[in-house]
Amino acid sequence: MLNLKSVKKQYERNMALNDISLNFSRGKCYGLVGPNGAGKTTLLKIISSIIQDFDGSLTFTEASRANSKEIIGYIPQEICLEETVTAWDNLSFFGKIYGLKGQTLKLRINEVLNDIGLTDKAKHKVSAYSGGMKRRLNIGCALLHTPDLIIMDEPTIGIDPQSRRYIFNMIEKLKEHGCAIIYASHYMEEIEQICDEAIFIDKGNIAENGRVDVLLQK
């Protein structure tokens, strides 16, 4: 569903990404692995259209919606929530940004709350949430518009085992529904557990790329 060809991004003298070519298909989870400063977040921001100034090409081969951005759900490392209001209010806000309204919006909020395991906490202020609950809600806000491509930038940093389990279960459901997931992580055990393919990036270059089971043998 997504093809990258010869993507390059340079910040002054620093080559953040150097000639990156990748293909992403539906129904798979792709692990993106590399040290800090390797270029992972830059790559994710280019795919999600946050960074638009780069060389090379990015093509959505199945973009059936009017705007390719509509098919993307982006979950950044930073938690982007308004903590003085409830989970329901946060989801409602993001849903309206995506153009959802009325019964459609209410239905999607309830579905997402169930998926992230926060139905019974929907009317609680986010300031009272644990770190893991905030992470789950942060993911839920990016799923309201049923995106086809979900980008997760280290979503399990500092969370509890229960929240990690919810996130992994969500990823399996998304794959079953034909979504493509790009999952950046420092934890190889996570990549082994949930990813079908892995992309190892270092100093802006792809060091290894392929099926997880094959890479593990190497």
User: Which domains are assigned to the chain?
Assistant: 2-217 (3.40.50.300)
- Pick from 169, 196, 173: which is nearest to 183 by CA? 196
Higher-pLDDT residue of 127, 63: 127
pLDDT grade for 68, boundaries at 50, 70 and 90: low
**Helix 131-141 crosses helix 161-176 at what angle (to 10 degrees)?**
20
**pLDDT at residue 63, as a whole number:** 58
pLDDT grade for 65, boundaries at 50, 70 and 90: low
pLDDT grade for 14, boundaries at 50, 70 and 90: confident
Q: Specify the amino acid at residue 179.
A: C
**pLDDT at residue 152, as a whole number:** 94
Res 64 pLDDT > 60? no
Mean pLDDT of the chain: 91
**pLDDT at residue 37, as a whole number:** 86
Residue range 22-37: mean pLDDT, rounded:
93
The tally of CA atoms less than 13 A away on the side-chain side of residue 96 is 6
Residue range 46-73: mean pLDDT, rounded:
81
Res 210 pLDDT > 80? yes
The pLDDT tens digits for 159-170 are: 888 888 888 999
Res 67 pLDDT > 80? no
- Pick from 32, 39, 36: which is nearest to 17 by CA? 39
The pLDDT tens digits for 83-133 are: 999 999 999 999 999 899 999 999 999 999 999 999 999 999 999 999 999
Please give the share of the chain, as a percent, with pLDDT higher than 90: 72
**pLDDT at residue 206, as a whole number:** 94
User: Are 74 and 29 within 8 A, CB to CB?
Assistant: no
Res 157 pLDDT > 80? yes
- Pick from 14, 199, 201, 204: which is nearest to 214 by CA? 199
Read off the tokens for 152: 């997760």
Res 195 pLDDT > 60? yes
pLDDT grade for 150, boundaries at 50, 70 and 90: very high
Res 32 pLDDT > 90? yes
- In angstroms, the CA 202 to CA 207 distance is 6
